[in-house]
Amino acid sequence: MKKLKFDSYDGVCFLNGLVFFAPVALLVRTQAGVSEHIFFLLQALLSGVIFLGEIPTGFITDKIGYRKSLIWAQVLLFGARSLLLAAFVSRSLALFVVEAVVEGIAVCFTSGTGSAYLYDLYGENGYLVKTAHAENFGTAGFIISTVAYAGIYKISGMEGLLITTVVMDIIAVVCSFFLRSESSKTIIADRKEVQILAIFKNKKAFLFVISLAIFSIAWLLINFFYVVKLENCGLPVEWMSLIILIYSAVQMLAEPILGKLSDGKNGKSGRGKLPAVTAATAGVAFLLFGVVKFRSAVLLLMLILPLLLNLPEYLLMNLENQFVDEAECGSQRAATLSVLNMGVNLVEILTLSASAFLTKIGIQWCFVFVGCFLMVIALLFARIQK
């Protein structure tokens, strides 16, 4: 496996991972007078903006090119973080609302774009490893910000966390201007418009939408509700930061693992089985995490769950791009991927609205259900890869 060099895209991912207020993101709002109820409504608004903006921004991206779209995304993200700082300082609910809208538009410009950009530059063979490589830099940034946030918060409070993050966003904007340009074939103004929605005539499209939705729910459980499961097993809250740091570091193994798994030596048939095998493995891990009560087993599963979920997710993204080529929508790759991603946004809106119900039925059963769905997805992928 050829070792990848650090580039501007890696730098942008690293800087985007430096969100110093992330460990106390809820407190940014509540300390400014926003109730938890309003916080969930703001998150639902964010998901709603993403849902509505997916297709329009996808078409814009296909017109202006992936690189320019990624630059616009960084500029908008900087604007959103600046609005968040202003909203916190002024205790303004209106500014929190505007921030959610601007952040949603920023996400729209990156949704599908990063995947399309890397697929265009590195092709089918190099896409997987480069995606994991870039994500590792984002994870490294997250680890650094998680370690540093306590010191910054003690010295300069919440304002210090927000200001430091905004400074990182400014550097990210500058870094984005050094991104490599994609091939000129992706920016052709007079090309024939493709009927994007016709892609759903192919049953594979629905499989991708459903799969992306399940992955979205899985990450929601890991990011927000795993603490409940760990606390139920008697693990102290003080351990949570250490657990986050360790599982983030373990996640970085995705790059070398995918490099080995996707190596040409494994053969085309072996590589074709990887999405099903990795999705089944993640499904079993989620199911066990839901039912197991032994503290050591729960802790071990938690440390490897994000990595096990990352592997089939990256493989799914690669299959998505191959599917776009098969459907002859490569000239409008970003718009097509945005359409497929809309299912994710819809599920996020519904999940946020139903968050109270999730906690009532028991978080452990949520992990079990997701595990079962992942295994169903594995079976479906096994069938279509035959």
- pTM beyond 0.95, yes or no: no
Q: What is the pLDDT of residues 74-99, one digit of tens each?
A: 999 999 999 999 999 999 999 999 99
Whole-angstrom Cα distance, residue 185 to residue 183?
5
Count the residues in the chain.
386
Mean pLDDT of the chain: 83
Least confidently predicted of 9-23, 36-50, 129-143, 186-200: 186-200
Look-up of token digits 């306590």: 150
Whole-angstrom Cα distance, residue 13 to residue 117?
14
CATH class of 196-385: mainly alpha
1-178, what's its fold? Answer: Growth Hormone; Chain: A; (1.20.1250)
Reference 186, options 82, 372, 335; nearest CA is 335
Reference 70, options 190, 173, 151; nearest CA is 173
- Give the chain as a 3 state SS string: CCCCCCCHHHHHHHHHHCCCCHHHHHHHHHCCCCCHHHHHHHHHHHHHHHHHHHHHHHHHHHHHCHHHHHHHHHHHHHHHHHHHHHHHHHCCHHHHHHHHHHHHHHHHHHCCHHHHHHHHHHHHHHHHHHHHHHHHHHHHHHHHHHHHHHHHHHHHHHHHHHHHHHHHHHHHHHHHCCCCCCCHHHCCCCCCCCCHHHHHHCHHHHHHHHHHHHHHHHHHHHHHHHHHHHHHCCCCHHHHHHHHHHHHHHHCCHHHHHHHHCCHHHCHHHHHHHHHHHHHHHHHHHHHHHHCCCHHHHHHHHHHHHHHHHHHHHHHHHHHHHHHHHCCCHHHHHHHHHHHHHHHHHHHHHHHHCHHHHHHHCHHHHHHHHHHHHHHHHHHHHHHCC
Residue 377 burial by Cβ neighbours in a 10 Å radius (0-12, 13-18, 19+): buried
Domain boundaries along the sequence of the chain: 1-178, 196-385
Q: What is the pLDDT of residues 24-75, one digit of tens each?
A: 777 788 888 888 678 778 877 888 898 888 878 888 888 888 999 999 999 9
Cα–Cα distances in Å, from 316 out to 187, 210, 258, 321, 340? 25, 12, 12, 9, 12
Q: What is the pLDDT of residues 233-289, one digit of tens each?
A: 777 766 777 888 888 889 889 888 888 876 655 545 556 788 899 999 999 999 999
Amino acid identity for residue 145 in this structure: S
Report the pLDDT averaged over residues 149-176: 93
Reference 225, options 137, 134, 352; nearest CA is 352
Please state the φ and ψ torsions of residue 293, each to the nearest 5 degrees. Answer: -120, -5
Whole-angstrom Cα distance, residue 248 to residue 225?
16
Whole-angstrom Cα distance, residue 9 to residue 137?
10
What is the predicted pLDDT for the residue at 191?
43
Reference 163, options 12, 20, 15; nearest CA is 20
383 CB contacts (<8 Å, ≥6 apart)?
A: none
Res. 196 pLDDT band, cuts 50 70 90: low
What is the predicted pLDDT for the residue at 208?
83
Q: Do domains 1-178 and 196-385 have the same CATH topology?
A: yes
Token pair for 294 = 């032994």
